[in-house]
Amino acid sequence: MRKEIRKEKIRRRKNFFPTLIIIFLSWIIVGGIIYFIDPGTLGAIPLFLMVVFVALLFTTSTLLVNTRRGFIVSFAATLFLLLRYFGIGNIINFLLIAGLGITVELYFSKNS
C-alpha cells in the first residue's frame, strides 16, 4: 500500500531539470545576441524580442509556479521592451501595462 502511494507521488512530481536547461540556454542566447549581433542587422530586433520572451516565460513560470502568470509577466515585459525600442516606453506606459497585466490576471483567476 505504501509503495503504491510512494510510486504515485514520484510519478506526479515535476522534473525541473529540462526547464532549467532551457532557462540557462535562452539567457545565454539573449546575452549572445546583445553582445555579438548588431541591432541594425535585418531581423535582429524581432529575434531578440522572441528570445527574451521565451527566456522570461520559462523563468517567470518557474519562479511563480504558474504558467499563465509567467505568460502575462513575459508578455507585459516584452511589450514594454518593444515600446522602449520605438522610443515611447516611459514610466506611464510601464504602469499602464502593469495595471493591464494585473487586471488580466485577476479576471482569469476569478473565472477559474
Residue 45 contacts residue 85 (beta carbons within 8 Å): yes
Residue 62 contacts residue 16 (beta carbons within 8 Å): yes
For 41-81, how does the pLDDT look when each residue is reduced to its tens digit (9 = 90+)?
999 999 999 999 999 999 999 999 899 999 999 999 999 99
Residue 32 clears pLDDT 80, i.e. is over it: yes
Task: Cell numbers for 53, please give them.
Answer: 520572451
DSSP secondary structure code for residue 21 in this structure: H
Residue 86 clears pLDDT 70, i.e. is over it: yes
Residue 93 contacts residue 79 (beta carbons within 8 Å): no
Whole-structure pTM value = 0.85
Amino acid 12: pLDDT: 67
Q: Would you place residue 17 in the very low, low, confident or very high pLDDT band (cuts 50, 70, 90)?
A: confident
Task: State the burial class of residue 73 (Cβ atoms within 10 Å of its Cβ: 0-12, 13-18, 19+).
Answer: buried
Q: Which amino acid is at 57?
A: L
Amino acid 9: pLDDT: 67
Residue 88 clears pLDDT 80, i.e. is over it: yes
